[in-house]
Amino acid sequence: MRRRIAIIDPINPAERSFMAPVMARLQNSWDIDFIHPATPRAIAEAAAQADVIWLEWCTQHAVLAAENIDFGDRKVIVRLHSFEALDTPFPRQMFWGNIDHLVLVSDDIRKLLSEQNPHIAQQTDIRLIPNGIDCDRFTNEVTASCTDIAWVGRLEMKKNPMLFLQIMQQLVQRNPAYKLHVAGEFNDVRVYRYLRHLITELALEQNIVFYGFVEDMPQWLRDKGVLLSTTLYESFGMNIGEAMAAGACPVIHSFPGADKIWPEECLFASVDMAVDKICTAVPDRYREFVRTRYDITQQVTAIDTLLDAENSKHRDILHFGTDRAKIRMHLPDRSDHIQKTIALSNSFYEGEMLRDMADRLELLPAESDASVAIDVGANIGNHTIFLATQTEMQVIALEPAASSFSVLTRNIALNGLEDKVSAIRKGAGAHEAKAQLQIRDPNNWGMNRLNLDETGDISVIPLDALSEDHAVGLMKIDVEGMELDVLRGATRILTRDRPLLYIEASDDAQRQLVDGFLTAFGYRRHARFNDTPTYLYLNQQAHDQQVHALQLSGGTGRTPNHADDAETARTRRRQRRQRKSRIAGAQG
């Protein structure tokens, strides 16, 4: 039974698609559905029927498909060109975990993507498959004239057509017989008006001819002896390869990465160099270069191999990085709000609040003994992993839900944090008790909450029982309505350690109750974060002391002597690492 491939191209119809020559060969063994235009409904319907989904161009259609379609075991391939990498945000918005293979046409694009997303190679399988030229289609026996120069491409700024005016001016001064033949459409009014104006200014009306879009490129190229490319950048440059296959001598502006694709002797970096190369051009010299490296048969062979390769979606593990660490997150349920947000952003959830946590912990006085952060309602470990990798804190993470706790412990292990994080499958409350888990929204694990019930199977403990010997610097509390119970079980911590408090309160009534309770411990509300309101509470006395220390130190927050700042920070980190070995989180 023949397999079916859906090729989705939102930019070009079939006859103009970069996939056209590939489809001509695949149709011998595949049933092909070509989708253009690429509406979400058309993509979903085609994907449901296909064995392989090929998303040509990494534009919004690909982002939405990766985010919203459950492809299951079907192979999904994205081919990305220079346009998306340079001119759009879409590669950075992609959920690469839902893609089996990313196809690139040049190593320079791979380097560019790696700069934008250093962990993309861990998020999807990357294949380098250069574009293919149908060399047989472009073969001709016509003896071309090197005074007839081809220029092919859309007439827009990134193709740099302004440069061909300067080159043509010098060529015509040497030999008035030189003529530039331009195949391509104008899609920028500024470029159109500029070229028309300068052609008249430079008296080149008889030496530059515009043809618009050309349907039959092999026929059009038959009598052209030179291909001039002035582009600012190409991931490959199909027009260059096709002209070389037709016998034209290429003269190519030296864009980044060009030397890895085309003969170095064909590259120019100045108008004078371009003119010299055109004047000494020899037709037919580079036919074999293209056939040997880029003939369509090689591309199709590589694509056939790719289509037969094992699927390699990395749907449940996301890799991303920060200045301090490489992060791995196990995200098994993409319908869950938090996991989906992490996957699509390639970063921690609630980043603004997390950065505030890190900044404030860094500003703790050097003499502070605080070495522990407590994450109450740790869920899958977003905040826990951040605190353990981005700060000096030891972390105690409490998560009562079995499914969330399983992912939490997996994320701790994936990041090698077993010695820095104590994960406890319990809830926090005013005193020891039992509770039942209530699942309020299956698509938002963070909405789970505990209901106290003496017949329940989940243990509830007071936070004061976890930190008898170690000072707490920060507590994050996200417990869906049990905030007061958690705080009542942490009165010793509030009195003794005066930690930073980040407390979610979903409505004003709950916030007011938290405000009132914490006032008795010297706390005031200072800031709000996140869509579901999470409030920062600071102990006013501790905060005033810190502000005073900042003023004395000129803003460093650690010591009045600026020269001692770095050493003090190192000493503090060393002391906290020493404490780490002494901290035994509650295990049962």
SS3 labels along 466-521? HCCCCCEEEEEECCCCCHHHHHHCCHHHHHHCCCEEEEECCCHHHHHHHHHHHHCC
Answer whether residue 78 is part of any domain: yes
Answer whether residue 319 is part of any domain: no
pLDDT in tens, 128-148: 999 999 999 998 877 778 999
Adjacency order of strands within the sheet including 267-268: 208-212, 179-183, 145-152, 224-229, 249-253, 267-268
pTM of the model: 0.69
pLDDT band at 445; cut points 50, 70, 90: confident
Dihedral angle, C-alpha 383, 384, 389, 392, nearest 10 °: 110
CA 537 to chain centroid = 34
Contacts of 532 (CB under 8 A, 6+ apart): 504, 506
Secondary structure in 3-state letters for 388-423: HHHCCCEEEEECCCHHHHHHHHHHHHHCCCCCCEEE
Pick from 462, 503, 501: nearest CA to 481:
503
Sequence letter at residue 132 = G
Residue 585 is predicted with a pLDDT of 39
Residue 450 is predicted with a pLDDT of 82
Length of the chain: 588
Burial 435-473 (b: 16+ CB within 10 A, else e): bebeeeeeebbbbbbbebeeebebbbbbbbebbeebbbb
The CA-CA-CA angle for residues 317, 56, 110, to 5°, reads: 60
Pick from 383, 410, 397: nearest CA to 316:
410
| 118 and 161 housed in the same domain | no
Backbone angles phi, psi at 470, to 5 degrees: -135, 135
DSSP E strand stretches across 19-111:
30-35, 52-56, 75-80, 101-104
Answer whether residue 335 is part of any domain: no
| 150 and 109 housed in the same domain | no
Residue 31 reports pLDDT greater than 90? yes
pLDDT band at 63; cut points 50, 70, 90: very high
| 28 and 103 housed in the same domain | yes
Half-sphere exposure of 448 (CA within 13 A, CB side): 24
Domain boundary among 280, 308, 336: 308
pLDDT in tens, 502-516: 999 988 999 999 999
Answer whether residue 367 is part of any domain: yes
pLDDT band at 481; cut points 50, 70, 90: confident
Output the CA–CA distances (angstroms, integers) from residue 470 to 188, 371, 376, 390, 585, in the order listed. Answer: 66, 7, 17, 20, 10
What rounded mean pLDDT belongs to the chain? 90
| 243 and 382 housed in the same domain | no
Say what percent of the chain tops pLDDT 90.
73
Answer whether residue 587 is part of any domain: no
Adjacency order of strands within the sheet including 394-398: 421-424, 394-398, 372-376, 472-477, 500-504, 534-539, 523-529
> 310 is written with which tokens?
């094992």
Output the CA–CA distances (angstroms, integers) from residue 15 to 65, 140, 403, 571, in the order listed. Answer: 24, 22, 50, 67
Contacts of 194 (CB under 8 A, 6+ apart): 162
Contacts of 170 (CB under 8 A, 6+ apart): 271, 272, 275
pLDDT in tens, 389-432: 999 999 999 999 988 999 999 999 999 999 999 999 999 999 99
| 303 and 359 housed in the same domain | no
| CATH at residue 117 | 3.40.50.2000
CA distance 247 to 267: 17
CA distance 546 to 474: 15
Domain boundary among 308, 339, 360: 308
Residue 556 is predicted with a pLDDT of 47
pLDDT band at 122; cut points 50, 70, 90: confident
Half-sphere exposure of 153 (CA within 13 A, CB side): 24
| 274 and 382 housed in the same domain | no
Answer whether residue 118 is part of any domain: yes
Contacts of 230 (CB under 8 A, 6+ apart): 151, 159, 160, 161, 162, 163, 164, 167, 253
State the CB neighbour count (10 A cutoff) for residue 212.
Answer: 10
> 349 is written with which tokens?
């959830």
Burial of 315 (0-12, 13-18, 19+ CB in 10 A): middle
> 85 is written with which tokens?
């990498």
Residue 573 is predicted with a pLDDT of 47
> 414 is written with which tokens?
């994936």
Chain position carrying tokens 């490296």? 293
Answer whether residue 338 is part of any domain: no
pLDDT in tens, 514-572: 999 999 999 999 999 998 899 999 999 888 877 776 676 655 443 333 334 434 444 55
Question: Considering its fold, how many domains does the chain have in total?
Answer: 3
Provide long-range contacts, Cβ within 8 A and 24+ apart, for 549-558.
Answer: 549/365, 550/363, 557/362, 557/363, 557/364, 557/365, 558/363, 558/365, 558/366
pLDDT band at 583; cut points 50, 70, 90: very low
pLDDT band at 97; cut points 50, 70, 90: confident
Strand 125-128 with 101-104, pairing: parallel
Output the CA–CA distances (angstroms, integers) from residue 492 to 12, 460, 466, 472, 573, in the order listed. Answer: 67, 17, 11, 10, 25
CA distance 404 to 384: 13
| 96 and 141 housed in the same domain | no
Pick from 225, 259, 87: nearest CA to 156:
87
Burial 551-570 (b: 16+ CB within 10 A, else e): eebeebbbbeeeeeeeebbe
Residue 564 is predicted with a pLDDT of 41
CB 326 within 8 A of CB 319: yes
Rg from Cα positions in the chain: 32
Burial of 137 (0-12, 13-18, 19+ CB in 10 A): middle
Pick from 488, 477, 473, 474: nearest CA to 533:
477
| 465 and 561 housed in the same domain | yes
| 149 and 253 housed in the same domain | yes
pLDDT in tens, 462-473: 999 997 778 999
Domain range for 23:
3-132+299-308
Residue 433 is predicted with a pLDDT of 94
CA distance 296 to 298: 5
Backbone angles phi, psi at 462, to 5 degrees: -80, 145
CB 366 within 8 A of CB 559: yes
pLDDT in tens, 41-62: 999 999 999 999 999 999 999 9
| 453 and 474 housed in the same domain | yes
pLDDT in tens, 198-217: 999 999 999 999 999 999 99
Answer whether residue 166 is part of any domain: yes
What residues pair up with 434 in beta bridges, in sequence order?
A: 459
> 144 is written with which tokens?
């071309």
| 194 and 233 housed in the same domain | yes
| CATH at residue 356 | 3.40.50.150
pLDDT in tens, 249-308: 999 999 999 999 999 999 999 999 999 999 999 999 999 999 999 999 999 999 999 999
pLDDT band at 588; cut points 50, 70, 90: very low
Backbone angles phi, psi at 547, to 5 degrees: -60, -40
Residue 555 is predicted with a pLDDT of 53
| 465 and 509 housed in the same domain | yes
